[in-house]
């Protein structure tokens, strides 16, 4: 029970943080000017959409959705992890999706 609540907290906080960072990346970026439309769409599908999927997975307690969000967002998150600045936080966020999925699965197995 505790492990499932912890997994929900980790996954929920990670996905909400990813959504806020996506907004900052394009509309309140301290490192660059105006957002390029192509970049907005690419990062929407590679960073924001997996965050939504992860939040849905946390809400309906489906670790497979969190694992899918990890796999989906990992390439761009790993790229951003190697950049200086606040957007490197996407790396740990992506791994938080995986950690949350594993905790949720383990919590479900231990409650049986």
pLDDT at 112: 64
| 8 A C-beta contact, residue 15 and residue 48 | no
Taking a C-beta distance cutoff of 8 angstroms, is the pair 95, 103 a contact? Answer: no
- Model pLDDT for residues 53-91, shown as the tens digit of each residue: 999 999 999 999 999 999 999 999 999 999 988 999 999
Contact between residue 76 and residue 46 where contact means Cβ atoms under 8 Å apart: yes
**Cα–Cα–Cα angle for 32, 19, 50, rounded to 5 degrees:** 115
Q: Is the pLDDT of residue 101 over 80?
A: yes
- What residue spans define the domains of the chain? 2-110
Measure the CA–CA gap between 1 and 111, rounded to whole angstroms: 7
pTM: 0.90
What mean pLDDT comes out for the span 15-20?
97
**110 has a pLDDT exceeding 90:** no
Largest separation between any pair of C-alpha atoms in the chain: 53
Residue 32 has pLDDT above 90, yes or no: no
């Amino acid at each position: 029970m505790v492990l499932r609540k912890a997994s929900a907290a980790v996954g929920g906080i990670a996905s909400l943080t990813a959504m806020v960072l996506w907004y900052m990346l394009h509309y309140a970026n301290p490192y660059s000017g105006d957002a390029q439309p192509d970049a907005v769409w690419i990062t929407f599908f590679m960073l924001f959409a997996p965050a939504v999927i992860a939040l849905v997975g946390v809400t309906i307690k489906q670790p497979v959705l969190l694992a899918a969000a990890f796999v989906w967002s990992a390439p761009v998150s790993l790229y951003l992890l190697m950049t200086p600045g606040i957007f490197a936080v996407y790396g740990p966020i992506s791994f938080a999706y995986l950690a949350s999925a594993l905790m949720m699965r383990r919590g479900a197995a231990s409650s049986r």
